[in-house]
Amino acid sequence: MHMTRLRTHHASFPSFGLILKEKMASHIVGYPRMGPKRELKFALEAFWDGKSSAEELQKVSADLRSSIWKQMSEVGIKYIPSNTFSYYDQVLDTTAMLGAVPDRYSWSGGEIGFDTYFSMARGNASVPAMEMTKWFDTNYHYIVPELGPNTKFSYASHKAVTEYKEAKALGVDTVPVLIGPVTYLLFSKPAKGVEKSFCTLSLLESILPIYKEVIAELKAAGATWIQLDEPTLVKDLDSKQLDAFSKAYSELESSFSGLNVVVETYFADLPAEAYKTLTSLNGVTGFGFDLVRGTNTIEHIKSSFPAGKYLFAGVVDGRNIWANDLAASLTILQALEPVVGKDKLVVSTSCSLMHTAVDLVNETKLDDEIKSWLAFAAQKVVEVNALAKALTGTKDEAFFSSNAAALASRRSSPRVTNEEVQKATALKGSDHRRATPVSARLSAQQKNLNLPILPTTTIGSFPQTVELRRVRREYKANKISEENYIAAIKEEISKVVKLQEELDIDVLVHGEPERNDMVEYFGEQLSGFAFTANGWVQSYGSRCVKPPIIYGDVSRPKPMTVFWSKMAQSMTSRPMKGMLTGPVTILNWSFVRNDQPRFQTCYQIALAIKKEVEDLEAGGIQVIQIDEAALREGLPLRKSEHAFYLDWAVHSFRITNCGIKDTTQIHTHMCYSNFNDIIQSIIDMDADVITIENSRSDEKLLSVFRDGVKYGAGIGPGVYDIHSPRIPSTEEIADRVNKMLAVLDTNVLWVNPDCGLKTRKYNEVNPALTNMVSAAKLIRTQLASAK
């Protein structure tokens, strides 16, 4: 990270090292891991490809950690986190710490190394990976622990202690962060072969001894504070689950002796009973709350905060990139100060900053005006410390004035509001459903498309080669002409089309060679979006994304995909899918404006996508996929808020395709979330075909159909996991398809991978798809002979 200051007409954007070095009552829950140049991503991929050693990977990660610790210390942050750096995700790190390795990975004990760790995350040549799903309502993923009554636990990863000592050797005293024991168990699932009714909380007494060992080692190493993250407290928990927190922390109380412990929550308000449980925990020194997404928690604090305890007040948003309203945050803090005591109030981020980009000083693409409205992780650290200083009476008046001017600029900027768009999204009197029922539409589409039973397709993207990335990069840098760029992309599309025809796939895709990212590509062509040069955010492992910034009203100035889709369709007589990202996914995978309701922004995006769908249909595209991979991800954490969200999210999807012909087939795609609890809303989307992740979650999706849910549209539960390099056999895929046919009608089932293929290599994709098509043909033959 650069130790410089970037100046603009509106404000200054401090990076680290610009604030006085005195330690203020300031706290950072966690920090981004990737680095501004994606150092971790490239180091991980080089290691996985056998191009670098474990030692080289460890050095890259150590350099990133030391840079972050030193710079936070120089800013003046008092409570600096450690053990928040992960090679894949923090839940998998906890699984490693507890030695909870499933038997199939043949781990023989001892300290868990990279081979076992990454096999759990990614699978290997002989065994599949563990399930991956979303972390709360974010686009961050975690590997789901698999536990059972016979799981043996042991202290098998000393990462937390090692990293604490590493920071201490640099002269930085950190706060080691652990996923709390109850949250870990609540985010686990019964292992394969274990009764689904098995309660993972029954293992609490088995894992607490390992937590005690870790805490004892941290104390012996010199730690004075530790942070235990228990964010599941913001969810709807029953009395048994809440009791587990009380039991766990009573058991750990003696281990906490001589140590300060903060229990951190984030992402939402705490229900009243959860707040009472949390603030009554034994041996805990302080409590951390998200006061950005959990504003109602402020009233709990004012009415009943335990005397003598620390309040870690999360007033700086860790999940979005807008500059903090420093005056408003200071007002909140000043109202809380007499409640908790001046010496017990700590200014904090609302959650880990790993959900934001690293540093505005790395940005060259953003113009000065928009940049003045933003704060990335480095700037948020400075905001935290500025608020802490202001509480002590040493308010930086110039910094606060600059902040107020930037906020005023954003409110008054003509770039933010488009009256025509505002009027169009004042939707009245229509639920935007297609006029014909899905059964009749599917019949009309089959007459038009003439597909076999168990039609095969892929989800959209094909491998993104080094050469392809080079072409896109050089085109954006104006190093090659538009003519040469189009020729290169056309050649790539032709290769992908030819490959799919050779594989005998039924419904083709063009492979998306013109796109680096499914959201960024569309945002770049819609008004109201801005983009960063280095605003990378980790999604899991080496996977990182650059979320667009929605700063204003959204509209579509011109067609976005029609040119490429028509080109691809002209290369084949088979149906070619037009590939779009849906409005809810664009919304949930962006940094969204916070000056109007999210549903209003989503409706604007939906109307823009609707125009694209209509232009694709007019251009002869008969199958159009509108991905809603993130619809489930955005579901609020509290059940009382589900209905409102699902109503506008599903409505937004229907807006996109409500005006098209019955013969045009609309697909959608969803991945890596638990969909069973929203199946009725998925049905209500009224898509003709849905492809959905299934293989990595132990076919959990199929259970909803076993329970009697009737799904009349086409459906393609994924038959193999594309996030693993492992190649499934024809027999394995056929077995999965037969399991699906046990609960789904033959005439609605599609055969497809779990997700897009861009993260894989062609030497993995070709045999996997060959086996997938062979499996579909095998079962078609079996079904025909059984008649």
* 33: three-class secondary structure by DSSP: coil
- Which two three-digit tokens encode residue 300? 């709990």
9 is catalytic: no
Per DSSP, 211 falls in state: H
693 is in an annotated binding site: yes
Cα angle 495, 501, 502 (rounded to 5 degrees) comes to 85
589 is in an annotated binding site: yes
HSE, side-chain direction, 13 A CA sphere, residue 339: 18
460 is in an annotated binding site: yes
461 is in an annotated binding site: yes
Please pick, among 300, 432, 651, 723, the residue that the annotation labels catalytic. 723
- Contact residues for 186 (Cβ-Cβ < 8 A; gap 6+): 200, 201, 232, 241
671 is in an annotated binding site: yes
132 to 121, 180, 619, 692: CA distances (angstroms): 8, 19, 38, 14
302 is in an annotated binding site: no
Report the C-alpha gap between 253 and 747 in whole angstroms: 59
- Cβ atoms of 281 and 263 within 8 Å: the answer is yes
Q: Residue 728's closest CA among 759, 674, 697, 774?
A: 774
- Which two three-digit tokens encode residue 711? 């799904």
Report the C-alpha gap between 600 and 98 in whole angstroms: 45
Report the C-alpha gap between 437 and 450 in whole angstroms: 20
- Cβ atoms of 10 and 369 within 8 Å: the answer is yes
Phi, psi of 293 (to 5 degrees): -90, -5
For residue 592, list its beta bridge partners.
550
Cα angle 84, 90, 95 (rounded to 5 degrees) comes to 135
669 is in an annotated binding site: yes
642 is in an annotated binding site: no
Cα angle 270, 267, 703 (rounded to 5 degrees) comes to 95
* 667: three-class secondary structure by DSSP: strand
- Which two three-digit tokens encode residue 418? 């488009």
- Cβ atoms of 120 and 135 within 8 Å: the answer is no
41 is in an annotated binding site: yes
323 to 383, 407, 408: CA distances (angstroms): 9, 8, 12
Q: Residue 176's closest CA among 137, 139, 204, 215?
A: 215
Report the C-alpha gap between 277 and 240 in whole angstroms: 12
Phi, psi of 724 (to 5 degrees): -115, 145
Report the C-alpha gap between 120 and 88 in whole angstroms: 10
If you count them, how many residues does the chain have?
Answer: 787
For residue 624, list its beta bridge partners.
578, 666
Task: Report helix angle 326-340 to 377-391, nearest 10.
Answer: 50
- Which two three-digit tokens encode residue 108? 């023989």
Tell the burial category of 582 from Cβ atoms under 10 Å away from its Cβ (0-12, 13-18, 19+): buried
Report the C-alpha gap between 261 and 288 in whole angstroms: 11
- Cβ atoms of 314 and 349 within 8 Å: the answer is yes
What amino acid is encoded at 489 in this protein?
A: I
Binding-site residues for L-methionine, in ranges, read 459-461, 512, 627
User: Which residues belong to the annotated binding site for Zn(2+)?
Assistant: 669, 671, 684, 693, 755
**Catalytic residue ranges:** 723
Give the residue numbers of the binding site.
41, 139, 459-461, 512, 543-544, 589, 627, 669, 671, 684, 693, 755
**Residues annotated as binding site for 5-methyltetrahydropteroyltri-L-glutamate?**
41, 139, 543-544, 589
For the annotated binding site for L-homocysteine, the residues are 459-461, 627
